[in-house]
Amino acid sequence: KQEVTQIPAALSVPEGENLVLNCSFTDSAIYNLQWFRQDPGKGLTSLLLIQSSQREQTSGRLNASLDKSSGRSTLYIAASQPGDSATYLCARAGSNYKLTFGKGTLLTVNP
Amino acid sequence: GAVVSQHPSWVICKSGTSVKIECRSLDFQATTMFWYRQFPKQSLMLMATSNEGSKATYEQGVEKDKFLINHASLTLSTLTVTSAHPEDSSFYICSASPRTSGVVPDTQYFGPGTRLTVL
């Protein structure tokens, strides 16, 4: 069974701090790895998508890496802001393009 | 661009009734739409994959006769929860993959979700 695990489940940091969110997956035969943001009671906003042939992707203060051999991905958020507070989900896409999601990391950035 | 809407955004119904949720791609055509369910503090779980003009493919453990999916056009898919019960209360989210010739559907755009509460 393909599983996606996210650690930590929750994280609280002061504003301005750099932080790393972790995602691990059991099946290294992935098509891509995606990071999403979900605000309370809302849908998903796509942040970054890393193809299986890539090692990392960057967008503004966000950087995501992918290590297929170890089955891990990290999302690095630089200079965190209160507006970054949300749940961050990672999801792996298999060759059938179906997404398997982790439970997410609830991030709180305190002013 | 690439906006997906869902209607309604929330619904409360009595046990035993049926509820229809619509998922629309507003500015693109979607060959494939996906339906997910999310229980509190849990992952999104894929329920079914819906392809325009063909029958939906359901994930293991999802009752196809209870969760009816219709993908009648390239911009609309509907999920009908039949004879809803309190355990069906959840957050239902759809996503849509653009119709792009010769390109694998690796991009999914997500709707805002529908909160279903069955009393």
Question: Any idea which residue has 């999310």 for tokens?
Answer: B38
Nearest CA in chain B to A4: B43
Range of lowest pLDDT (A24-33, A101-110, B19-28): A24-33
Residues of chain B short of pLDDT 50, as ranges, are none
Q: Which residues contact B74 (CB under 8 A, 6 or more apart)?
A: B25, B29, B30, B31, B52, B99
List pLDDT tens digits, range A29-86.
888 899 999 998 888 999 999 988 999 999 999 999 999 999 999 999 999 999 999 9
Phi/psi for A44 (5° steps) reads -105, 140
**List of chain B residues whose C-beta atoms are within 8 Å of the C-beta of residue A53:** none
Per-residue pLDDT tens for B20-53?
A: 999 999 988 888 899 999 998 888 999 999 888 7
CB–CB of B6 and A43 under 8 A?
yes
User: Residue B106: what pLDDT?
Assistant: 63
Backbone angles phi, psi at B98, to 5 degrees: -65, 150
pLDDT band at A2 (very low <50, low <70, confident <90, very high): low
Closest Cα in chain B, distance from residue A31 (Å): 8
Q: Which chain B residues contact residue A99 at CB under 8 A?
A: 34, 44, 46, 108
Q: Tell me the residue type at B68.
A: L
